[in-house]
Amino acid sequence: MSDVDWARVFDRSFTEQSRSTRQRVWREVYGQDYAEHAEPYSYVSRSELEEFAEHLQIGQSGAFVDLGCGRGGPGLVVALRTGARLIGLDISEVALADAEQAAQKFGLTERVEFRRGGFAATGLTDRCVHAVMSVDALTFALDKQQALTEMARILAPGGRLVFTSWDYKRTPDNRPPQVQDHRPLLERAGFQVLGYKETTDWRHRWQATSHGMITRRAELVEELGEERAVAMIAELQRQLDNQLPLVTRRILAIATRQ
């Protein structure tokens, strides 16, 4: 899987993804907990975003990074909530262009920047931010230990890292190497783990959102055209059959840079 061009994969999915059908499905499955204002391309919920804002412990004078920021919404919600400055990094230029637009919609362009950067190399200087967040993106890092070490490098001592990702029994065929438990890697990278918990209802949410999309074939065809809709449904089904059984849990991790 190391030879996959993930930037290209994500450029394509951000170009071709359903937005309106996806929103309807997520609204139905998550109910009040749907983070609609963030328009996430992930499983993050409204209550998880509250937890991000709380545990990152940044104030108005602080700066934080959202690594694997996608279209920017989750980081922008946290920036709005905390008053802090945000640097959103992603490998997908398509996502970054959408994130710029989202920053305008949020009225946050003054204290937000989005730029190209990845888990392997953020392009940021040592100890330059007070906090790092990452939503459902670390799973795509080719080397998780290196990614966590990079996060530790850019964080000021005492700074916080909060992320969601998945622990796997073993790596599925279509993913970079996964880990069974992120805690030993966090410690090796120089973090103290403050919290590590399984997120609410994650398996049901994965299954129910996938089924919700799969059963809305007609809506997806109307939104995306036959070819893309069929490809998306096949991919969702493949993930349900081959990927989900290998996941132990979706986790929300909170750590501090020592």
Ligand X SMILES: C[S@@+](CC[C@H](N)C(=O)[O-])C[C@H]1O[C@@H](n2cnc3c(N)ncnc32)[C@H](O)[C@@H]1O
User: How many Å apart are CA 72 and CA 90, to the nearest integer?
Assistant: 9
Nearer to ligand X, 118 or 212 (CB): 118
Write down the least CB distance from residue 65 to ligand X, Å: 11
Q: How many residues does the chain have?
A: 258
Write down the least CB distance from residue 96 to ligand X, Å: 9
User: How many Å apart are CA 258 and CA 256, to the nearest integer?
Assistant: 6
CA-based nearest residue to 253, from 52, 50, 38: 52
Q: Which DSSP category does 86 fall into?
A: E
Write down the least CB distance from residue 204 to ligand X, Å: 18
Nearer to ligand X, 8 or 169 (CB): 8
3-state secondary structure of 67: strand
Write down the least CB distance from residue 218 to ligand X, Å: 26
CB contact burial 42-61 (16+ within 10 A = b; e otherwise): bbbbbebbebbbebbbbeee
Nearer to ligand X, 51 or 136 (CB): 136
Nearer to ligand X, 221 or 247 (CB): 247
Residues that bind ligand X (CB under 6 A): 6, 10, 40-42, 44, 67-71, 74, 90-92, 95, 118-119, 135-137, 140-141
Write down the least CB distance from residue 140 to ligand X, Å: 3
Beta strands in the chain (DSSP E): 63-67, 85-90, 112-116, 129-135, 155-168, 191-198, 247-257
Residue nearest to ligand X (CB): 70
Nearer to ligand X, 12 or 221 (CB): 12
Q: Which DSSP category does 143 fall into?
A: -
